[in-house]
A and B are shown apart, each in its own frame.
Chain A
């Protein structure tokens, strides 16, 4: 029987790294006790990013070199899903231009949603005919001047789970489920209500998790000394080291929690750490992943020779290396809707999105799928009944032509300070895709001036939010090539 495990992996960390010192500087008057947490930086999504857009990027990274038509199902784990009732993973499916025949579901409700989804995918893999794309993303909304504001960070991870030439073999899993209420959030609440940190640490992070480790390692039949990488996605100080010590796992096996450079990415963090571990791992390493939240998950994996043959990808390391320092705490609060600014009357444009139009154009709008004329090869976006090629009047000849993964070059550009934009100025321009296709498109992640001729890559982002009707609208933008 073929091995079951992880076939591929990827991750995404937004570009901006908010300096914790900037958060602390603004809040020290009120909460001087935060000083101990005011070190390093945390990843923050731009105004047009959320758990869906980050999951799409992680999914693209995980599917590097893989035929998208081969994916049989996907799941998105997060406690910060933009839609309470509209399949969030269904939006991801459209953006990734996966087959209409995939199964998709959202996983939510606890900080271990990511590890639970992965455990489930690994256990179900033997019975699935096609790989499952297991995504997790979180962008937690945290109360200003709270510990969580400094501890968390925004990120996403993706793992393709299935049978065959796996890069990490699934050796087993163990879970405990116990209603330990370290925090909670009910619908309508802006922020988590968090209980006392000392109690969470002693009874939850240490006692509950140690029980899971003790029972789980026995059930999985693994000696502590055999664990090469121990992944504890808990950033509270000293917890990981205490757990390792109690379980007898070598301190050298402890993985970096990425607290200094990213922050704890909520329910995605275990998978983010797993991707980071897989990036660094050599064949034959045993990786033990922990998940914590109203119980605990343990997942045991062992890397194979295939891991050294995986195509290069951004991953966690690449995303972290691509960071840009940000000191603007207030801008972040505005982007996360925590401080209101006077947007001006230009922001009053109605953003209503008729579902009928979206349904007709879902491939173009969500997947950046253009058309390619089967007779002349002319590529265009969007598709049209009659080709844009001036030398032919071919009609009804266009087949789907996905553009999202094709590099493009800038033909014209401006920085528009008149239009309303959440992060002014609005950068946009025309781009030509390599091999055909041209469009006017908004630019994202602009840190310095963009010149005509610059190479761009497409990114899936929030286009606008219809605040009157609560709808988040998505489309693609062009970002400078990394």
Chain B
């Protein structure tokens, strides 16, 4: 196997805008809001940035093509700026670009930015868009909840779980995330909800009700990365380093190969998780991971992902969830910041927003929501597409000596 990225790159600074219906701001202003926090945290000048990556999901909707909008918004010093798009994994994808640039030695300091301005569409949910003229001939353009609800039906059928049991388990996922998000000043939704509210909410895509779906919001997040040596030379003492960074993409097997995939899990996530654990030297994720931020676009996604990350046994996550294993005070907290559920999902920003929370938790800077047991390794998981065909991205960050 490749030598991997472990401890070759450190996070110098991070920032995150307030997420929400930011009627007051364009995408570039959201980027500036997150960037100002990140560069202050990094303690560098903009002239020290050697290269930049920009992750955005819906290019028609917000800032247009190319890396130019980022270069202009931040008045970067004419460095290379690359725009990346990889569905909902676009945020982690931009982080990967910056991290790899530093690891290769091509850049000393690199910038990763993720942003999305969704609330100019005029309606709830993600923008409706084409997936190409050939797909449009034969494909189904379902909504995101419709696509992800499919995995609920598959999971329930494969593991023979009663409808009400699964509905209660996914409701617990949302109740837990709302409780966490209520403590987060940057979250979009900051209200705790109870089980009854979640269970009785209007149906969006059977079995996903309103509270099983994450919010839709505007937001941006930023990371500035460098080598551990440069970070230390710049005066950083507690270093958070990148332990693993893996992306796995479907190749059509799940969607097209009859009798293969059984519809109950996310195939690329399992592959990305195995590779990430290998890269990070993690042999027992249930013992070694302190917390996770996973792609809870829908409650069922988070639940199934617990199995795909090998944090629950196959077919058992619904019980572990109901048992509180992933609550803020559980065995491995998941979405201690409130997750996509409470932040909403500005596509390009989400992956970096997850890493931002893990970074804060590792440094003990998470305020009211700080995990009591001091964390040492934290995983984030960013998923784009749909259960039958997706891009799964995993980033593991940790204290330099972890």
Contacts and interface: CB of A to CB of B under 8 A. Distances in A.
Contacts of B257: 378, 380, 388-390, 438
Interface residues of A, number: 53
A442 B138 CA distance: 10
Interface string A349-367: 1110110011011001100
Interface stretch (B71-79, B140-148, B343-351, B370-378): B140-148
A418 B128 CA distance: 11
Central interface residue in A345, A419, A436, by most chain B CB within 10 Å: A419
A361 B142 contact: no
B133 interface: yes
Interface stretch (A7-15, A173-181, A426-434): A426-434
A412 B256 contact: no
Given A411-B263, A414-B153, A437-B258, A428 B137 contact: no
Contact of B146 (A380, A428, A436, A473): A428
Q: Is the interface of A mostly helix, strand, loop or mixed?
A: mixed
Central interface residue in A357, A441, A452, by most chain B CB within 10 Å: A452
A467 interface: no
Contacts of B139: 440
A413 B142 CA distance: 11
A365 B138 contact: yes
B205 A416 contact: yes
Nearest to A347: B128
A416 B138 contact: no
Interface stretch (B87-95, B119-127, B286-294, B352-360): B119-127
Interface string B145-168: 110011111101100000000000
Interface in B372-391: 387-388
B150 A413 contact: yes
A453 interface: yes
Given A345-B123, A364-B138, A438 B203 contact: no
B402 to A, nearest CB: 36
B259 interface: yes
A416 B252 contact: no
Contacts of B259: 432, 436, 438
B143 A350 contact: no
B150 A412 contact: yes
A31 B125 CA distance: 44
Interface string A370-394: 0000000011111010001110000
Nearest to B128: A349
A382 B139 CA distance: 10
A439 B142 contact: no
B47 interface: no
Interface of B: 121-125, 128-130, 133-134, 136-146, 149-154, 156-157, 202-206, 208, 251-253, 255-260, 262-263, 387-388
Interface of A: 344-346, 348-351, 353-354, 357-358, 360-361, 364-365, 378-382, 384, 388-390, 411-420, 425-426, 428-430, 432-433, 436-442, 451-453, 473, 475
